[in-house]
Amino acid sequence: DAKTTQPPSMDCAEGRAANLPCNHSTISGNEYVYWYRQIHSQGPQYIIHGLKNNETNEMASLIITEDRKSSTLILPHATLRDTAVYYCIVRVHGEYDYKLSFGAGTTVTVRA
Amino acid sequence: GAGVSQSPSNKVTEKGKDVELRCDPISGHTALYWYRQSLGQGLEFLIYFQGNSAPDKSGLPSDRFSAERTGGSVSTLTIQRTQQEDSAVYLCASSLDPGNNEQFFGPGTRLTVL
Write the pLDDT tens digit of every residue in A10-50.
Answer: 999 999 999 999 999 999 888 899 999 999 989 999 999 99
pLDDT of residue A17: 97
pLDDT of residue A91: 84
Report percent pLDDT > 70 for chain B: 96
Residue A98 pLDDT greater than 70, yes or no:
yes
Size of interface A-B (CB pairs under 8 A): 54
Residue A95 pLDDT greater than 80, yes or no:
no
Task: Give me the phi and psi of A7, to 5 degrees please.
Answer: -65, 145
CA separation for the pair B70, B57 (Å, rounded): 16
pLDDT of residue A41: 85
Q: Do the Cβ atoms of A106 and A47 come closer than 8 Å?
A: no
* φ/ψ bin of A68: left (φ > 0), alpha (ψ from -120 to 50), beta (otherwise): left
Residue A17 touches chain B, beta carbons under 8 Å: no
Give B96's Cβ-side CA count (13 Å radius): 5
pLDDT of residue A81: 95
User: Which chain B residues contact residue A94 at CB under 8 A?
Assistant: 99
Q: Do the Cβ atoms of B91 and B36 come closer than 8 Å?
A: yes
pLDDT band of A92, cuts 50, 70, 90: confident
Residue A53 touches chain B, beta carbons under 8 Å: no
pLDDT of residue A87: 94
H/E segment holding residue A64: strand A61-64
Average pLDDT, stretch B27-34? 93
**Average pLDDT over all residues of chain A:** 92
Residue B35 pLDDT greater than 90, yes or no:
yes
In chain B, which residues touch A (CB < 8 A)? Answer: 4, 31, 33, 35, 42-43, 45, 48, 56, 59, 91, 93, 95, 97-99, 101-108
Residue A1 touches chain B, beta carbons under 8 Å: no
pLDDT of residue A2: 60
pLDDT of residue A99: 82
pLDDT band of A53, cuts 50, 70, 90: confident
Average pLDDT, stretch B93-110? 86
Rg, Å, chain B Cα set: 13
Task: Please report the beta strands in B1-103, taking only residues with DSSP state E, as ranges in sequence order.
Answer: 5-7, 10-13, 19-24, 31-37, 43-50, 53-56, 65-69, 75-79, 88-95
Average pLDDT, stretch B63-67? 96
Q: Do the Cβ atoms of B67 and B78 come closer than 8 Å?
A: yes
Q: Tell me the nearest-neighbour CA distance from A39 into chain B, angstroms.
A: 10
Lowest mean pLDDT among B29-33, B42-46, B90-94: B42-46
H/E segment holding residue A22: strand A18-23
pLDDT band of A94, cuts 50, 70, 90: low
Residue B57 pLDDT greater than 80, yes or no:
yes
Residue B13 pLDDT greater than 80, yes or no:
yes
Which residues partner with A1 through β-bridges? none
